[in-house]
Structure 1
Amino acid sequence: MPDSAMDGIDGRVPPGAREITTGQANRVWSVEGPTPYILKHYGDPRRAVNEAAALRLLTSHRAPCPQLLAASSGSSNPPWTAQAALHAKPVSIDQFLADLAEPLAAIHRIPGAHFGRLAGAGQHQSWADYLHDRLRMYAASAPSLRAVARLLHQEVDASDNAIQPVLLHHDLQPGHLLREPTGSRLLIDWELAISGDQTSDLARLAVRLDLDDPTPVLPLVSGADATAEGRLHLYWRIHLLADAALSTDRAVRERAAGRLLGPSVR
């Protein structure tokens, strides 16, 4: 059964719903009614269950996120969530990093019980195990980059792995940070959320911002330890490998591979 039957929400697209889909993985509608909401249909059921789990966790910590109104059961096809409609607009690109700092700090204060996706996927007892698992998947998808993956495996083993897991958004980018009329900022689109090293959130952000060097995003972590910059560069290359191996956009794949193989990459 879904989490809620609020206002008859059952995952079906009601008459008059307005499609607002922007990505490729999901379809999204804005639904009017006594309780306006956003309906998401997911191409991957693991993403649906993960986003629902993330929103429940965030709500329990009163963190800056949309309210989950209802979610599908495991047998629903397609899987779906219904989230409260927000009276908010995306933060402008020139204010993005400044406005991200406060909500991101709140997110990174939420402890995790394990490493990896919150639900709907394998969970890991150590951060290194999670990273090795991801690297194996990327290498299998991009055989031409297996040598890069081998080097990254070695760097993971040599890095500081005494990491305490915290909640990560893991898809930070302009458009996923909204500002409400009151000035509050909210993070949306939690389907890729994991528990892990907060520095990985910054590394993925650097990839999404198309930075040649991830260092400018490091100040978003207050009180970063002496090893944080090295971990940031390591995770940045792991996320570049993910794009080079898995992106459906050829230009993204080629740009990521170029950064991995270019002389400027550490």
Structure 2
Amino acid sequence: MSPDSAMDGIDGRVPPSAREITTGQTNRVWSVEGPTPYILKHYGDPSRAANEAAALRLLAGHRAPAPQLLAASSGSSTPPWTAQAALHAKPVHLDRLLADLAEPLAAIHRIPGTHFGRLAGARQNHSWTDYLHDRLRVYAAAAPALPAVAGRLHHEVDASDNAIQPVLLHHDLQPGHLLCGPAGSRLLIDWELAIFGDHRSELARLAVRLDLDDPTPVLPLVSGADATAEGRLHLYWRIHLLADAALSTDRAVRERAAGRLLGPSVR
């Protein structure tokens, strides 16, 4: 148990009065009442638990728009868990998502990184190029029907100017992860996939999660976007499509992503 896990006796166990609010497939989540109401999250993957805890600690140090981490398990706990402050907030409506993301994203992308890749629980890379090549090798191995696509993306990564300064990325932006508080504040939840990297990868992944046929509608979230930013956005968009085609547990998502990668409209 980590030092901050002693708050109000939080120990990762599910209290009898807890109400399960699980929505995803990889974790289980409960709402716990008490003197300090909190959200208890059990993870199927210990590396995701370590990464989310590290991200929330970093965000707290920068007073960024994210939940407060109340407690977290040590690496030996089974299952791994975090306890996060309960939020009196609701998901931002899809029609407002892009407009309302601008301010919290700007705050997050001002937080500098020390390497490329996840904050904890996974390999850390010295360059953005190394990180992208590592990811592409994983996706190619899981999607043997798309070797030509993976090969082209490897070449494009090498041809790009990858002198990137790493910044914090949420890297799992989607409807439901941006909340609106009672005073109109906006904050982002679910930080288990956070990485340090190029902020344009954040937008490309969002375009995939929004099921867009083209990623350019998210480009206005980048201040001073130019042709270079647009080209980089399209490259990252295809990398994230390959990730879905290779790793998604939903067959329809895999097929849709592969279809976009092989379709005539993809650059």
TM value normalised by structure 1: 0.99
SS at match of 1:120: coil
Distance of 2:240 and 2:253 partners within structure 1: 12
Corresponding position of 1:109: 110
C-alpha contact 2:5 2:73 (8 A) present in aligned 1: no
Give 3-state SS (helix, strand or coil) of 1:5's partner.
helix
SS in 1 for 2:168: strand
Moved more, 221-230 or 148-157: 221-230
Structure 1: unaligned runs, 5 residues or longer = none
Distance 1:128 1:225 in 2: 21
Partner of 1:232: 233
- 2:161 maps to 1:164: no
What is the rounded CA distance, in whole Å, between the counterparts of 1:198 and 1:246 in structure 2? Answer: 22
- Counterpart of 2:11 in structure 1 is 10
Structure 2: runs of 5 or more not aligned: none
Give, as a single letter, the amino acid of the residue that structure 2 aligns with 1:173: Q
Mapped pair 1:65 → 2:48: no
Offset, 1:146:
1.4
Conserved 8 A contact 2:164-2:197: yes
Other-structure match for 1:197:
198
Structure 2 counterpart of 1:35, one-letter code: T
Moved more, 7-16 or 218-227: 218-227
In structure 1, the residue matched to 2:89 is 88
* Alpha-carbon separation, structure 2, partners of 1:205 and 1:88: 21
The code of the aligned residue for 1:70 comes to A
SS at match of 1:41: strand
Q: Distance in 2 between matches of 1:226 and 1:139?
A: 28
Please state whether the residue corresponding to 2:145 is helix, strand or coil. helix
After superposition, the C-alpha distances for 1:139-182 in whole angstroms (9 at most, x for unaligned) are 00111111110000000000110100000000001100000000
User: So what's the TM-score if we normalise by structure 2?
Assistant: 0.99
Which residue of structure 2 aligns with residue 140 of structure 1? 141
CA contact (8 A) 2:109 2:199 kept: yes
Distance in 2 of aligned mates of 1:22 and 1:32: 19
Tell me how far apart the structure 2 counterparts of residues 260 and 183 of structure 1 sit (CA, whole Å). 39
Please tell me the root mean square deviation across aligned C-alpha atoms, in Å.
0.7
Kept in 1: contact 2:178–2:186 (CA 8 A): yes
Q: Tell me which residue corresponds to 1:122.
A: 123
Shift of 1:58: 0.4
Distance in 2 between residues matched to 1:145 and 1:82, nearest whole Å: 40
Corresponding residue number in structure 1 for 2:244: 243
Counterpart of 2:20 in structure 1: which amino acid?
E
> How far off is 1:226 after superposition?
4.1
Task: Render the CA deviation track for 1:173-204: whole Å, top value 9, x for unaligned.
Answer: 11000000000000000000000000000000
How far apart are the structure 2 equivalents of 1:141 and 1:259?
A: 17
Q: 1:186 maps to what in 2?
A: 187
**Residue of structure 2 in register with 1:49 after alignment:** 50
Kindly, what percent of the aligned residue pairs are identical? 88
Contact map agreement 1:160 1:227 (CA 8 A) in 2:
no
Deviation at 1:221, TM superposition (A): 1.1
Structure 1 position 4, deviation (Å): 2.4
